């Protein structure tokens, strides 16, 4: 079965604030099942992956998916709490859905994911027409919770688990172009970055059975997929051991196992943590041609005092040394991207300038950029004062965005005149005479279609670029 999510928003090359917050909706799959499920997923790739698990669990319980809210028997919003704005978006959407529910009283409405976990049963009181609140570790319970609602009750399960990884559930591929897929290799996070709500909403870090990950990747290859992205909040702390302890796998080991499945399978991963990324991982990337030379290594701030307040457990110098290691081992062509937060508690103008100068040092290919949004319950909310005025945060964010656009363009210009191996994802957005795909560094490359098709690897000589795209000609 092939259920799809469609993307509502477009992510620009140097994405700012809202851009990292995509929204995806299930598309229509009709296998004659008796009920229809509609999921709207917000936020990060982890949530989109979780929606694939939810679809799989409910497919077995007699649910097809739909893209039409008006057809749905069950409506889920799979939510994000990372910034206040993400929660506001969901609340506004719930109001619209609740207006519809008044005309279709049989329709069940549930909130899944981080907002469910953060607000728990308070959500039932605040959003009167919500029937179900389900946290990210309780999706196996969905069939029972739906039955409770069928019986006229309202249902909540927000228990976090130390074990749940959904390792045995074969996700139904959502938002699939049939070429690339995401594989969750771990859940939760044990870092306590002071600004971040994730450890509270997604629980303790757990690594998934390495064999089940390799098996999932193998099945994807057998189904024609050409690229997998291994997902975790901090992939470098992946650590799994067999029950008798005879097999132990760290992230470098896992990368290698997945890379060895097929030389034609491209392997990506996200997110790397500056405190944990090892030279062993970098040498593993170097060793295997099919592991992409691209690392998402969020810095958050370029100033050591702010990094300390953020509890990131590395300083500016440490980060620069990790970047030096990447450049030494993988060369200047290795893509590096980042997340940045402007205007964290007590950040001075000079400390903000440190972020800009660090960006110059690293020469990021692109970045996700945000201004600081205080989240209730986090260390920063409890211990620090959110004292940078909104207009200052916004101005600093704009300066970071402007800097990144400059850097992205410069990095893309360095790609001109070089041959890039591109995995074709489909037609270019503007014309069916052109195809588009990504190079190793995850940059979009557009070139004339000729006889190539989706899923092909094509060597493209890049001849021009914009801030977000490379353009070129296939070489025969």
Q: Which residues contact ligand SF4 by CB under 6 A?
A: 189, 191, 193, 196, 198-199, 233-234, 273
Pairing mode, strands 266-270 and 248-250: unpaired
Q: Which residue has tokens 């809202």?
A: 18
**Local structure of 360: helix, strand or coil:** helix
Residues 12 and 21: their CA atoms lie apart, in Å, by: 11
Tokens 């363009």: give the residue. Answer: 409
Phi, psi of 216 (to 5 degrees): -65, -40
**Choice between 252 and 310, CB closer to ligand SAM:** 310
Q: Toward ligand SF4, which CB reaches closer, 85 or 257?
A: 85
Which of 173, 187, 273, 396 binds ligand SAM (CB under 6 A)? It is 273
Report if residue 471 touches ligand SAM, rule: CB under 6 A.
no
Q: What is the length of the chain?
A: 476
E strand map for 271-356: 294-296, 335-342
CB of 184 to ligand SAM, least distance (A): 13
375 binds, among ligand SF4, ligand SAM, none (CB under 5 to 8 A by kind): ligand SAM
Rounded Cα gap, residues 283 and 129, in angstroms: 53
How many chain residues interact with ligand SAM (CB under 6 A)?
A: 18
Task: With contacts defined by CB under 6 A, name the span among 25-33, 48-56, 160-168, 371-379 that binds ligand SAM.
Answer: 371-379
Tokens (6 digits) for 177: 């172009």
Contact 256, 228 (CB under 8 A): no
Q: Which does 199 bind (CB under 5 to 8 A by kind): ligand SAM, ligand SF4, none?
A: ligand SF4
Smallest gap from Cβ 291 to ligand SAM, in A, equals 20
Q: How far is the CB of 311 from ligand SF4 (least distance, A)?
A: 8
Binds ligand SAM by CB under 6 A, chosen from 4, 25, 39, 44: 44
**Would you say 221 and 193 are in contact if contact means Cβ atoms under 8 Å apart?**
no
Chain-centroid distance of CA 474 in Å reads: 30
372 binds, among ligand SAM, ligand SF4, none (CB under 5 to 8 A by kind): ligand SAM
Smallest distance, ligand SAM to C-beta of residue 381, A: 9
Q: CA 182, CA 230: separation in Å to the nearest integer?
A: 6
Q: Where are the beta strands (DSSP E) in 209-288?
A: 227-231, 239-241, 248-250, 266-270
Q: How far apart are CA 476 and CA 460, in angstroms?
A: 9
**Please, what is the minimum distance in Å from the beta carbon of residue 15 to ligand SAM?**
11
- Taking the CB of residue 195, how many other CB atoms lie within 10 A of it? 25
Least separation in angstroms between CB 232 and ligand SAM:
8
Supply the minimum distance, in Å, between the C-beta of residue 197 and ligand SAM.
Answer: 7
Tell me how crowded residue 218 is: count the other CB atoms within 10 A of its CB.
14
Q: What mask, x for binding ligand SAM by CB under 6 A, covers residues 53 to 82?
A: -----------------------------x
For residue 272, the partner it binds in ligand SF4, ligand SAM, none, with Cβ less than 5 to 8 A by kind, is none
Of the candidate residues 49, 56, 233, 303, the single one contacting ligand SAM (CB under 6 A) = 233
Q: For residues 148 and 276, which CB has a smaller minimum distance to ligand SAM in the complex? A: 276
Q: What is the C-alpha radius of gyration for the chain, rounded to an integer number of angstroms?
A: 22
* 372 binds ligand SAM per the rule CB under 6 A: yes
The reply on whether position 341 binds ligand SAM by CB under 6 A is yes
CB 448 to ligand SAM: min, Å: 37
Q: With binding defined as CB under 6 A, does residue 115 bind ligand SAM? A: no
What are the DSSP E strand ranges found in 266-350? 266-270, 294-296, 335-342
CB 248 within 8 A of CB 241: yes
Closest CA to 217 of 231, 233, 234: 231
Per partner kind, with CB cut-offs from 5 to 8 A, the member of ligand SAM, ligand SF4, none near residue 341 is: ligand SAM
Tell which one of 47, 271, 355, 428 touches ligand SAM (CB under 6 A).
Answer: 271
Which CB, 38 or 195, lies closer to ligand SAM? Answer: 195
Task: Establish whether the linkage from the previous residue to 271 is cis, with ω within 30° of 0.
Answer: yes
Q: Which residues bind ligand SAM (CB under 6 A)?
A: 44, 82-83, 195-196, 198, 233-234, 271, 273, 298, 300, 339, 341, 370, 372-373, 375
């Amino acid at each position: 079965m092939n259920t799809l999510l469609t993307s509502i928003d477009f992510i620009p090359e140097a994405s700012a604030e809202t851009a990292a917050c995509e929204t995806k909706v299930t598309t229509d799959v009709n296998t004659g099942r008796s009920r229809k499920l509609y999921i709207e997923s917000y936020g990060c790739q982890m949530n989109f992956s979780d929606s694939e698990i939810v679809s799989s669990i409910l497919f077995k319980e007699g649910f097809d998916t739909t893209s039409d809210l008006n057809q749905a028997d069950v409506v889920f919003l799979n939510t994000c709490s990372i910034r206040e704005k993400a929660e506001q978006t969901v609340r506004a959407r719930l109001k619209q859905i609740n207006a519809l529910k008044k005309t279709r009283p049989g329709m069940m409405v549930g909130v899944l994911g981080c907002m469910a976990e953060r607000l728990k049963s308070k959500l039932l009181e605040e959003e009167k027409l919500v029937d179900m609140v389900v946290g990210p570790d309780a999706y196996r319970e969905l069939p029972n919770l739906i039955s409770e609602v069928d019986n006229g009750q309202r249902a909540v399960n927000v228990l976090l688990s130390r074990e749940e990884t959904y390792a045995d559930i074969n996700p139904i591929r959502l938002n699939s172009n049939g070429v690339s897929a995401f594989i969750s290799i771990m859940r939760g996070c044990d870092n306590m970055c002071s600004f971040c709500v994730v450890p509270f909403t997604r629980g303790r870090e757990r690594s998934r059975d390495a064999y089940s990950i390799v098996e999932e990747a193998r099945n994807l290859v057998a189904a024609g997929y050409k690229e997998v992205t291994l997902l975790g909040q901090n992939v470098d702390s992946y650590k799994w051991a067999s029950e008798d302890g005879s097999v132990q796998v760290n992230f470098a080991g896992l990368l290698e196992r997945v890379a060895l499945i097929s030389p034609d399978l491209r392997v990506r991963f996200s997110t790397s943590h500056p405190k944990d990324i090892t030279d062993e991982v970098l040498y593993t990337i170097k060793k295997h041609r099919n592991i992409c030379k691209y690392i998402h290594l969020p810095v958050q701030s370029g100033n050591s005092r702010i990094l300390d307040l953020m509890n990131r457990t590395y300083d500016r110098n440490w980060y620069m040394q990790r970047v030096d290691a990447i450049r030494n081992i993988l060369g200047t062509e290795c893509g590096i991207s980042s997340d940045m937060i402007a205007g964290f508690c007590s950040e001075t103008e000079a400390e903000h300038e440190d972020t800009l100068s660090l960006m110059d040092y690293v020469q990021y290919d692109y970045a996700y950029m945000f201004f600081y949004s205080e989240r209730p319950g986090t260390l920063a909310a409890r211990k620090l004062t959110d004292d940078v005025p909104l207009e200052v945060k916004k101005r600093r964010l704009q300066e970071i965005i402007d800097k990144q656009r400059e850097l992205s363009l410069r990095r893309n210009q360095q790609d001109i005149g070089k041959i890039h191996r591109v995995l074709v994802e489909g037609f270019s957005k503007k014309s069916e005479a052109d195809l588009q795909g990504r190079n190793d560094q995850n940059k979009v490359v557009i070139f004339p279609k000729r006889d190539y098709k989706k899923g092909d690897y094509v060597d493209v000589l890049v001849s021009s670029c914009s801030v977000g795209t490379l353009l070129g000609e296939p070489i025969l």
